[in-house]
Structures are given as C-alpha cells and as structure tokens.
Structure 1
Amino acid sequence: MKAYRILLYYLYTPIEDCLAYREEHHRFCLENNLLGRVIVAPEGLNGTVSGLAEDCQRYMDWLHADPRFAAIQFKIEEHEQHAFHKLHVRVKEEIVNSDLPVDPLKQTGVHLEPNEFRQLMNDPDVVLVDMRSNYEHNVGKFKGAITFDMENLRELPDHVTEIEHLKGSGKKIITYCTGGIKCEKASAYLLHQGFENVYQLHGGIIRYGLEEGGENFDGECYVFDGRVTAPVNHVNPEIISTCHVCGTTTSRMVNCANPECNEHLPICEQCGWDMDGACSDTCRTHPRKRPYNGQGYYPKKFEDYTPVMGFKSAQGSFRKE
C-alpha cells in the first residue's frame, strides 16, 4: 500500500458565491497539506489533488459533508509521493472550458457504469467517440474509437460533421474522456445537434481502469499531474504511440523542454536524454530551454503565487483566474 493518494473528481452543482467558497476550499487544502488543481465555477466543482492517504480521506469527508457536494464520485489512485508541485484553487466561468450551449444539469447522454460499458463496448452497434485532445488520444485510446484532431473541447463543433453519418443509423454512440467531465457537456452537445442513442462512460477512463481492469484501452492514459501518463489496462495492454524522435514504440509522454514549444509528445527515455528533453534540434538549442531532469514535466512558474495567498491582485483580494 502506497502512502499517497491522487484524487480526481467533478460535480455539476450550483455554487453561488464562488469567491468566498474558493477561499474556504483553498484554506482547507492548505491546512491538510493537499496539492493540486481545483476549479470553482457557478456551475460546479472540478479538482485533482494529491496528499497522504489520511489527508485525502479527510478532504473527501469534508466535501461529502457539504450538501452541495454530497454526490461527488472520487477516482482514487495510489502513488509514492505528491503528484503535484503546487496548490491552485481558481474561480472560472466553467469547470471545463467548452463554450458549448448546453447545461449538463438539464440534459446529458445516458450514464454507463464501468461494468455496463465493458459489456457494451464490443457490440457491433456501438461506436466509441473520444472527446479528449489529440495529444491525449495519441498516447492511449480504446480500440476502434473515433478520435478528433482537436486541441480542446471548444473545437468540438468543428468536428461533429466527422460523425454526421451516425445520425439515424441506430448506432449507440458512447463518448468517453479521462474522468468523465468533458463527456457531460460533449454528450449533451451531440443530443443538442440531433444525435440519438448517446451514452457516456461515467467516471471516464480512470474509473473504468480502477473498477474493470481497463480492458481494450490501448496505450496509457494522459493525466494532468506529474505522472504525465498512467497505465489503466491490466488485462490486455498494448502500446500504440511511437517516439517522436526515433520512431520506437513508447508510452512515455513528455512536454518539450522549450517553453515556447511545450508540445506534448511521446519521446522514449533514450531520446529524452539525447535531446535534453527537447523535441527537435531547434528546441534543444533554444535559449529559453528548461533544464531536463529525465521526467519531462515542467510545472508552470508564477511570480505572484504563494501557497498561502494563491494569486493576489494589487488590491489584495483574490482575483478571478
């Protein structure tokens, strides 16, 4: 049993005074030695944090004790240490950037629990649709899934035509993403665009891996913490990505050491050292290239950030991030 836990969660639920709750939430995380990223928005809460097992349990109990967040479903993974370097609790307009004209509290696709998803995923009348960014599905995705070449969920409307042929086909469309949050809006948007028989994997890839072993997920799952990728398939794993530099098979994902590039790319360990963490010779010799430590993960640095105060404006109040 490893000493630390990584928690991933979200919940669409109205939050009235986001700034006040942001301060309360931030204070609790500080007092309980938690690191990670939490987004507070009028539409709900979205977070991923790490800490010692007992601190994470205290955090989950605290959130569940609040009637607004009693329904939060946590994805819990073990880890040897903190998966984050900082604590960020921010107020934003949405808990996942989308700009889609939908409200998950009013309509979404049918939620499939991991065991239901596993039973359906190989049905010939089922089409799996990946709602993640290209750098995420390039390193791992479900067998046979449709993927879109998009940088973020805001681009989904530009790609809906790629599955237009599924309208009226009688096929079951199952959307999936890392933890389930993108699918709440993505599945709602598909329904809004006239698609029928729309479903979503409840809890996403991570929960499916934890509860059902991750069968038929090829590669690794891109995660937004210091691990960069995490294995989810313990049944029939297969690596699908290849090193950007030499072309050998690898599931190792890095950010280019040149901050002006910062591309998320699969780069094998040997090429990581040979290229000093960069994706090309141009980036390797760039004057702003960051020192490479063999990991390929570079947490952002903020001049106005401190763990206790977070981000402060000149007036001394927490500003909306």
Structure 2
Amino acid sequence: MDYRVLLYYCYTPLADPDAFREEHHRLCLRLNLLGRIIVAAEGLNGTVSGRTADCEEYMRAVKADPRFAALEFKVEPVAAHTFQKLHVRVKPEIVHSSLHHVRPHEKTGQHLSPQEFKALKDRDDVVVVDVRSDYEYNVGRFKNAVTLDIENFRDFPDRVKRLEEFKDKKILTYCTGGVKCEKASAFLLEQGFENVYQLHGGIIKYGLEEGGEDFDGKCYVFDSRVAVDVNRVNPTVISQCYSCGTPSDRLINCANPHCNAHVALCEACGETLAGACSTTCQEHPDKRPYDGTGLYPKQSNHYNPEQALLSYKAPARPQ
C-alpha cells in the first residue's frame, strides 16, 4: 500500500496561528495531502492522508520546526486517500472543549507508553477511563473501562464528579490518539485527583505497538474508514445492530438526511431498510439512494484547495 494516514497533535504556543495556518496549508498543497488540520494558539492537531513519500516529507518538515520537537506521528498504511478534501482551519482550541484555561504543555497527566499502560490497566488499584464520546466508545473500548456518557468532549468537565469514587486509585485515561487525554488528565489534576495517567499515542499507538490486546470492538476514526481494527490478539465485537440487535460493527449514516443517525447496522438490515435506521426513515421522501456502504461523503468535484487558500479569512479577534 503506497498511501499512509498520519494522526498527530502537539500542544505548543503559536504566537500567530493565522500566519502559521497559511504557511502550513501551502505545505500540504505542495505535498498533495488531504485531511483535516486544526491550528490554534495552543498548538496543532491533524489527520491527513497521502502517498508514502509525501507523508515522509511532511513529517520531516513538521519535525524540523523546534516548536513541534515533541510531536509524534501515528502512521498507518492504507490503500488510497482516506479524505476527499484538505481543510486547514484556525480555531480557538485544537480539540473542542470547555477547558480553555488548561495548558497541557505546562501540566498534564503522566504519559504511559502502550507497554506501560498494558502492564497497569488490570491492577486492582487502577481504573481505566474512556474520555471519548458515546458514539466512539459504543463501537469499541477497553475491557472494564469506565465510560462517562458524553455526547461531546466539551461535556467532560460536568461528568468528572462520577469519578469521585475512584480518587484513591490510579486513573488511566485514553482516547483515539491522545489529544483529548492531555486536557482531560490536566483537568483531573486540577480537580484534586493525584494519580492521573494517560495512554500516550492513544488507542491507535496501542494497537500498533501492543497488538491492541483487550480493546474490544473497533476504534472510531475521523476519516472515510469510520472504524478500524486495532486488536490482533483477542478481538471481539461489542456493538449491536441498531435495528435487529445482532452483533455488528458496521457503522452507517441513516439514509434519511434529516436523521443522518450514525449507528451500527448489519448488512441484512441495511438491505431490508435500504440504508435507513428505521422504517420511518426508509419511507421519508428525501431518503438518499443506498449503495451498500451507508456512507454519504460530501461531493468534492468542484473543490479547489488553492481557491480555499486564497479565499481564507482569518477569524475575527475578540475585542
């Protein structure tokens, strides 16, 4: 496979995010990369795909900047681009949360390598905490992990009180690639939790380095693959078909665009309901044609990344 997917983040101060965004966008265009990149005053967060040689040059260019010396890339081989567009955007945070005051580059939970995480996760004095959203952990999570019933990471601070009973234990947080854990673990320290750790590199790195052992189901990812296998040791399926309840990790978007629910739907129910999550949605007059995948990426035939660069307008600064 001559393509790669790169998943990465780095919390580091950027004095001029707008200028960095334009420079970084040009780099991605030159290397024919596609994906989603977020730039903020607090750092950089992205997932991109491209040919192997282009990805290698991109990694060299990013690491050559002293501000990103600590950045680590999670690299996975793929058959083709996993994105249809390139978006490089400036936002207030590199991961949307309600923790604007938290500065992970100054203080955060102790990083655990995948090997260290594996050695600790089953101990009696440890609790493993999934800081991701419900649609992510419903398709895959570590055995016995505590989930917090959140629809969006910005809800995390309101759920921390549910962990009070574990204050005397070691808290091991994890997420897809590590970026959410940086803020989650820092906030837990702020709230008085003393022994807070995070899986460095997240589920993806754990899968690459430790075979994904004891991660049940699949890992939700934010590209066209939707969910990927990470467990090569003792894999299992934990999600159920939204319609019939049989085990299924086949994620779709409901064919009714007004619903667009992101759920697991087995192939049989997918055919029966023509890609809809229910008979009501199946009968909706605006239902989209079902091609067997249940995925409806936005068409990008007229997308021009160069024009996107030229038409970019920096967000208005607060007065």
Taking the TM superposition and a 5 Å limit, the aligned residue runs for 1:1-321 are 2-100=1-99, 101-167=101-167, 169=168, 171-300=169-298, 306-310=304-308, 316-320=311-315
Q: Give deviations 1:247-269, integer Å, cap 9, x for gaps.
A: 11111112222232222211112
Query: Could you say what secondary structure the match of 2:162 adopts?
Result: helix
Q: Cα deviation per residue 1:44-76 (whole Å; 9 max; x = unaligned)?
A: 000000011111111111111111122210001
Q: TM-score, normalised by structure 1?
A: 0.93
AA paired with 1:225? D
Using the aligned pairs only, state the percent identity.
Answer: 61
Change (3 A) 1:288 1:232: same
- Deviation (angstroms), 1:289: 2.8
- Pick which of 273-282 and 191-200 moved more: 273-282
1:147 counterpart letter in structure 2? T
Counterpart of 1:149, as a letter, is D
Report the Cα distance in structure 2 between the residues aligned to 1:60 and 1:47, rounded to whole angstroms.
12
Residues 311, 319 of structure 1: 8 Å contact kept: no
Q: Which residue type is aligned with residue 273 of structure 1?
A: E
RMSD: 1.8
Q: Structure 2 counterpart of 1:67, which letter?
A: P
Question: In structure 2, what is the Cα distance between the partners aligned to 1:307 and 1:299?
Answer: 17
> Hey, what's the Cα distance between the residues in 2 that align with 1:249 and 1:283?
22
State how far apart, in whole Å, the 1-side matches of 2:220 and 2:312 are. 34
Cα distance in 1, alignment partners of residues 108 and 125 from structure 2? 20
SS at match of 1:238: coil
Distance 1:308 1:189, change over 3 A: same
What one-letter code is carried by the residue in structure 2 that aligns with 1:140?
Answer: G
* Aligned partner letter, 1:213: G
How far apart are the structure 2 equivalents of 1:112 and 1:160? 21
Count of matched residue pairs? 315
1:288 is displaced (CA, Å) by: 3.3
Give the Cα–Cα distance (whole angstroms) in 1 for the partners of residues 139 and 285 of structure 2.
Answer: 29
Please say if residues 304 and 311 of structure 1, whose CA atoms lie closer than 8 Å, have aligned partners that are also in contact.
Answer: no
Provide the rounded CA distance (Å) in 2 between the counterparts of 1:184 and 1:12: 9
- Would you say the 8 A contact 1:18–1:42 is kept in 2? yes
Partner amino acid, structure 1, of 2:5:
I
Secondary structure at the residue paired with 2:48? strand
Q: Output the CA distance in 1 between the equivalents of 2:220 and 2:21.
A: 27
- Cα distance in 1, alignment partners of residues 30 and 76 from structure 2: 22
* Structure 1: gaps of 5 or more residues: none
Say if 1:86 and 1:166 are closer, same or farther in 2 by CA, change over 3 A.
same
State the Cα deviation string for residues 178-198 of structure 1 (Å, max 9, x = none).
000000000011111111211
Question: 2:129 & 2:62 partners in 1: Cα distance?
Answer: 32
Counterpart code for 1:50: S
Which amino acid in structure 2 is aligned with residue 241 of structure 1? S
Cα deviation code 1:32-55 (max 9, x no counterpart): 111100001000000000011111
Contact 1:209 1:232 in 2 (8 A): yes
Contact 2:85/2:303, CA 8 A, preserved across alignment: no
